[in-house]
Amino acid sequence: MQRLVQLLLVLWVLLPFVSPPAMAQERIILADGSMLNVFMVQPAETTDQPSPLLILMGGGPGNASISRDTSMWLGSGFSDRGWVVAVPISPNNRAFRGAENNEKVLQLIDELQKRESIATGKVLLGGVSNGGMSALEIARRNPEKYMGVLAVPALATSVFDNRPLDGFPIYLRIGGADQLGWADQFDDTVDTLTEAGVLLDAAILDSAPHMFRMQWDSLDAWLGKYTP
């Protein structure tokens, strides 16, 4: 696990950033009384209408450094498209895996949607690497609460009960030159999700590493089908 974290940190540093979005770190009190630190990225252009919400989770342990970089890299792309992006920092360095951490994301959504600037209703879940796995876990528990999952990358196995994701939209990308060998598990992941009835848009990106630039043309097309 330590080797994975070190690799992810190096890759984040090497990734070229786009122009910085309007970002701030906030401390948000949840319904259970706990506090969650969150990087908030606001839409690039202000409007009179509430903006859709993306909960985006970084890779590795989901610590502050990784979450900040995730908000700048991927969050900025969604900011340019009118989204409010919330990138929570894991409270225990386990990304947002497990029932307790899954629940904190639900509570975070409840708190954020009390704001007039954020649209109510379904939100989009997204995650990178371990964050993508977190997004899939959270969606399995309450799929009716979400527009879909952006998993860039993530893996899914038959160890989990994926039946709640029947008819659920998932955008999945894995690098063809993934240093962790995830490309070798792409077919099994696709088979597992397809058998569960997922509305899956999945592809391997030729020669791409574990962390890669988004293919915004294909992602925009997917967003147009399943989100506001």
Q: Express each pLDDT in 66-121 by its tens digit.
A: 999 999 999 999 999 999 999 999 999 999 999 999 999 999 999 999 999 999 99
**Which pLDDT band holds residue 159 (cuts at 50, 70, 90)?**
confident
Could you give the percent of the chain with pLDDT greater than 70?
Answer: 90
Distance of alpha carbon 28 from the chain centroid: 19
Domain boundaries, the chain: 2-226
Identify the residue with better confidence: 17 or 67: 67
Per-residue CA distances from 96 to 14, 57, 85, 130 (Å): 24, 8, 16, 8
Distance CA 55, CA 137 (A): 13
The pLDDT assigned to 23 comes to 79
pLDDT at 203: 98
Residue 206 CB partners (closer than 8 Å, separation 6+): 176
Residue 21 confidence (pLDDT): 55
The mean pLDDT value for 24-43 works out to 97
Average pLDDT over the chain, rounded to whole? 91
**pTM, entire model:** 0.90
In the predicted model, is pLDDT for residue 1 greater than 70? no
Domain 2-226 fold: Rossmann fold (3.40.50)
- Longest CA–CA span in the chain (Å) reads 46
User: Which residue in 11, 109, 125 sits closest to 60, CA to CA?
Assistant: 11
pLDDT at 20: 52
Q: Which residues neighbour 149 within 8 Å (Cβ) at sequence distance 6 or greater?
A: 124, 125, 126, 127, 132, 135, 136, 139, 168, 169, 170, 171
* pLDDT higher than threshold 50 for residue 45: yes
pLDDT tens string 188-226? 999 999 999 999 999 999 999 999 999 999 999 999 999
Q: How many residues does the chain have?
A: 228
Q: What span, in angstroms and rounded, lies between the C-alpha atoms of 13 and 69?
A: 8
Mean pLDDT of the 37-46 span: 95
